[in-house]
Every structure is written in C-alpha cells, then in structure tokens.
Amino acid sequence: MASVLVFLDVPALPLPRAARELLTLAGTVGEPVVAAAHRADQAMLDALASHGAVKVYEPAGELDTVLVAAKAAFLADAAKTEQPAAILLGNSFEDREIAARTGIKLGSGVITDAVAVAPDLAVTKSVLAGSYTSTCRVRTGTPVITVKANSVEPAPADPAAAAPQRVEVPLSDAGPAARVTGRSGKRVSGRPELAEARVIVAGGRGMDGNFGPVEDLADLLGGAVGASRAATDAGWIEHSAQVGQTGKTVSPQLYISAGISGAIQQKAGMQTAKVIVAVNKDADAPVFEIADFGIVGDVFSVLPQAADEIRKRRA
Amino acid sequence: MQESATRPLNIVVLVKHVPDAQFDRHLTGPGHTLDRAESILSELDEYALEAALQLAEARGGESAGNRVTALAMGPAAAVNAVKKSLQIGAYAGVHLADDALAGSDAAGTSLALAAAVRAVAESNGPVDLVITGMASTDGETSLVPAQLAERLQLAQVTFASELEVADVDGAPVVKARRDGDSFTETVEAPLPALVSVTDQANSPRYPNFKGIMAAKKKPVTVLTLADIGVDPAQVGHDGAWTAVAASAPRPPRSQGTIITDDGTAGVQLVEYLAAQKLI
C-alpha cells in the first residue's frame, strides 16, 4: 500500500486534534507515515502509532533555530527516502511555507486550504475567502497538500497498535536562512488556537474596549477568542486574534460574532463556519445576512445572560 | 576596505493587481481563473511598498543610491499596480507581461518572478531585498514568497510586523519581529533576503499630487518571458504543477432566525445552541 507522509512540526501530547485529523486523513488515502521536525520520545511514538503511523522520520539533530528553510529541507529529504503517494501538512502560515519550499525542492505541485482529499487525491478546497469551492489536482510530482483544521473527524486511538519504525534523516544544508534571535512567550490562556478551535467567540467595535463578556463566553464553551480588525487596531486585544481577510481564516463548528458589523473582509474570514450566531444592536448589520441565529440586541446584556444560563444549566 | 556602514540598498517590491475584494469575485472560463475586472493594487502590497520606502529612506533615499523597484507580473492592466506604486513613491517599475503567463500557478509564478528579479539584478546590480505582502488577496495560497525564496536561495523572513536593516560589522542584516499565536520572536537574516510584511508593519502612505505628477516621469520597464529567459512551456496553464478541475460558488447561506432582544435573548441563544448540540 502506498504511504502518505504527514508532517508534524511540534508534536505535543496529548496529540493535538489537527495532528490526529491529518493522520486519520492519511489513513483514508494510504498508510500513514510521519515526518516529525523534532525528535519523538517513546510516549510520542506510542501516540503516533495509536493513530495509525507505521513509520516516523526524525531529523538527526535539532532544527529549531532556523526558520522554515531547514524544516522544508528535512521534509523533502524524508520524502525522497519514503517516496510517498502524497504529503500532508497543516494549514498554518508556517506549514504552508514549508509546503511551498518542499514543493520546489521536489518539483511537486502544492495545494493549500484543502477541506477534503479523496482517495484518488482530488482535493477540495475553499477559495476566494470561502465564496467558492474548487476541486484541484496536482499534475506534477508528489502532491503536497495543506489541510485546514476541522476538515476530518479524527479516528479513535488504537492503544494496541504496533510501535512505529524510526528512521533518522541526516541534516542537509538548508541554504541561507533566517535565525531566531529571541523569543518571548505571551500570556498562556489555555484556550485553543484560533485556527483550530471548534468554537470561536469574536468581538468587534461594539465591544467598546471591553472583551470581558466575549472571553467569559469563549471559556465557558471551551472556545477561542477572535476579533475584527477594528477591535485589534484599537488595541483591545492582540493582533493574533484577528479573523478576516488580513487575519486568520477560520472554519469552526460554531462562530459567535459579537458587536461585529460583518464587513466583507470579516465575513471572508469566517463564512465557512458551520453555525454562525450574530449579536449586534444594529438590525441592518450585514452579518445578519449570513447568521443562522441573529440577535438584535446589546452585547453587554445578551452575552452575560447567555453565560449565566450556561452556568445555571451545568450547575 | 570595510564596507560603508550605510551602503545603499537595492530593493524589489512585488506588487499585484488583484480584483477588489469589496466586490463579489468570480471564477470564469475553462481554467477557472479569476475575473480580473474591478482590479486594484493589492491592499496588502501597500505595506510591502511602505516598508521598502522606509528602509531606503533610512539610508538616504534615492539620492543616496538606494533603489526601490516595484515589480508586477500580469496582463496589460497589471501595469496599473506598478503605476500606483510609482505614485506612492517607488523609484522605478517593472511589468512582466506575457500572454503565456495566463493561468500560472504558484510554481510558475515563482519561476517567472525569480527570473524577473534576476533580470532586475542584471540591469541594476545585486538585489539586497525582495519585499512582499503577507499574501495576495486573490489566490491566498501564501505560497509565492516562500517559493521565490527557495528558487533564489534567499534567506526568508516572513510575516514581519517590525522591520529594520542594521549594519553588523559593516554588512547589512535584516532584523524583524514576528508575532505568533503563543509567542513573539525576533529573527535576523543576512542580505540578500526575502521579507514579507504583515498589515501591522506600518501605515502605508497615500499618493499625493506631487507623487502623482512625479510618477509620470518614472520609468516602467516592460519585460517578456523571452527577455528573462523563461521557456513559455514552464509557466501558464500548460506549465502549471496543479490544475483546477471544477469550481462552484459556495451556496449562499440562507438567512436564519433573527430575533430582537426582549430581555431573554441570552437564554434563547443558549436554547438554540443546545438544540444544535453545540453546548
């Protein structure tokens, strides 16, 4: 059976949903094989095996002070050894860059933003900020495909799976590369990553500088906090929370839009959400055109009331 | 002899003529390519141009020998992206225009742009920096900057939210700040390098009357594939490494239930979420 090489940049335990989705998807196309940019310990190998990985490629040394160039070189080297039917990555900015460079190194076409990959490697993707769906195919080389989070239902783990084979990949020259000279961690919120979250509560201009109700509801729902550009530009919340054409594109199960009018650039970032709830005091806000459930009302009474009701039901 | 601490920079900025995202956009024709009516200079490229102008100005601007060249690839109308860039302040423009480029994917686009950057270097001297926006607002694949860096073997610094060129032991080094989800990092790379900037990097300037008048006198070099030594078979629809087989507009979302808060909307919201099995 042909293998499918799954690139995992920083695997962590428990295995993130996005990684489990990629392994599950790989298993529907072929036999999952992992290229892990960091060396895996035994617990990690067991976790990868339990999600279908039969082989794990690891770099012979540390890659992390150079940016994507070294990771792309590692992935391309692993692919040259493995000769998989396809290569799957996540859809973060960095994963897409690694895919981009790997594609050139292998002479292979790259498709980003995939939401489905058929067994014959036809790829369904969302384009023009979610306003179109297209079906694409790689014509040249080994298909390199980056897959959006929440595209696949991860298969349950099989704790009895056999240990994967480990293969060490010698470090090769990645060429000129940027180096990380400093890194400062931001506040750790314990919330899921925006791009991968199943629930997002997003606030906009209507939050008037107070994101408390948005954060409270997000935490109750185990979700991430998002924001419109107006809210991030105003400095009410960090820029990494921005959803929209110039921020992140998200496809959660539930997107709650609070105090956001829903200009076209904001819609572009969230219109593929499965369920959209909108709360805005302006009945003419464009966001209501795409909302499954819309509330014309004040975010500062609706959101806290909803949060109280959830607490009451759980008590 | 040690290099001058402020040697001028030769910067190429990639600018793209893209359909205005304010309007509905459509895929047309057998290749499912974008209808390019109502096109403008990509909003995200204005940050790239501003970054280039600020880096050049920090080293004395055009009169000190710095160069800021706006490079666009695309059909005849794409020259408008170059002209707008010249009005904003780019010192010179290059338009890579060739019918064979139509339908290029990221691989073909990066191949042609790499050759165009080499052509600029041949006529202008070595290129120190290629600066791009964080993504195009049409293709949205984010593949081209990284593929260009790979093809030109440049160090790559993407998604810079702050940018400077500092001189370290007499040699210019690009230093940038990148904001991730859970951390902020500082990175640096020797020149030549490819840099992409986010919309946090600066506030792009607008063209003023003086800039618009001055732009009329600035040179725009038009290049064809033959000029840059690219085989037409390697680009365009035929040379693409990926193909679109089908495309369809996403079915419009039907409007759902809209209620006006009567004092119980928060409770009704939770009932709705419970009915949808979302809580």
pLDDT tens for B158-175 read: 999 999 999 988 889 999
d(CA A96, CA A28): 22
pLDDT in tens, B231-241: 999 999 999 99
Give the length of chain B.
279
CB-CB neighbours of A1 under 10 Å: 8
Distance from CA of B176 to the nearest CA of A (A): 10
Separation between Cα atoms, residue B100 and residue B111, nearest integer Å: 13
Residue contact B187–A179, C-beta within 8 A: yes
A302 CB neighbours in chain B (<8 A) are 261, 265-266, 269
pLDDT (0 to 100) of residue A254? 97
Residue B254 pLDDT greater than 50, yes or no: yes
In A, minimum Cα distance to B141 occurs at A112
Q: Tell me the three state secondary structure of residue B91.
A: coil
Q: Over 50: is that where the pLDDT of B3 sits?
A: no
Question: % helix / strand / coil in chain A, to the nearest 5?
Answer: 30, 25, 40
Q: Which amino acid is at A113?
A: D
- The residues near A187 (Cβ < 8 Å, ≥ 6 apart) are none
- Rounded Cα–Cα distance for residues A113 and A146 (Å): 6
Considering only the top CATH level, what class is B10-239?
Answer: alpha beta
More confident residue, B197 or A272: B197
Contact B250 A133 (CB under 8 A): yes
Q: Cα-atom radius of gyration of chain B, to the nearest Å? A: 22
3-class secondary structure, B135: coil
* Interchain CB distance below 8 Å, B269 and A295: yes
- Please tell me the predicted confidence (pLDDT) of residue B65: 96
Domain residue spans of chain B = 10-239
- The pLDDT assigned to A45 comes to 94
Contact (CB<8Å) B241/A110: yes
The reported pTM is 0.88
CB contact under 8 A, B153 and A93: no
Distances (CA, A) of A299 to A136, A274, A279: 41, 22, 6
Q: How far from B37 is each of A296, B42, B114, B157, CA to CA, in Å?
A: 36, 14, 27, 33
CA A21, A22, A26, A27 torsion: positive or negative?
Answer: negative
Residue ranges in chain A modelled with pLDDT below 70: 64-65, 186-189
Does the distance separating the beta carbons of B266 and A68 come in below 8 Å?
A: no
Across the interface, which of A112, A180, A268 has its CB nearest the CB of B185? A180
Q: Give pLDDT, residue A19.
A: 94
Residue B4 has pLDDT above 60, yes or no: no
B181 vs A contacts (CB less than 8 Å): 193-195, 240
Q: How confident is the model at residue B37 (pLDDT cuts 50, 70, 90)?
A: low
Higher pLDDT, B225 or B18: B225
* Residues in chain B closer than 8 A to A72 (CB atoms): 150
Q: Which of A90, A118, A92 is nearest to A34 (CA)?
A: A90
- Using an 8 Å CB-CB cutoff, list chain A residues near B244: 134-136
Q: At what angle do helices B144-152 and A93-106 cross, to 10 degrees?
A: 40
Residue B75 has pLDDT above 70, yes or no: yes
Which one of B32, B241, B243 has the shortest CB-CB distance to A141?
B241
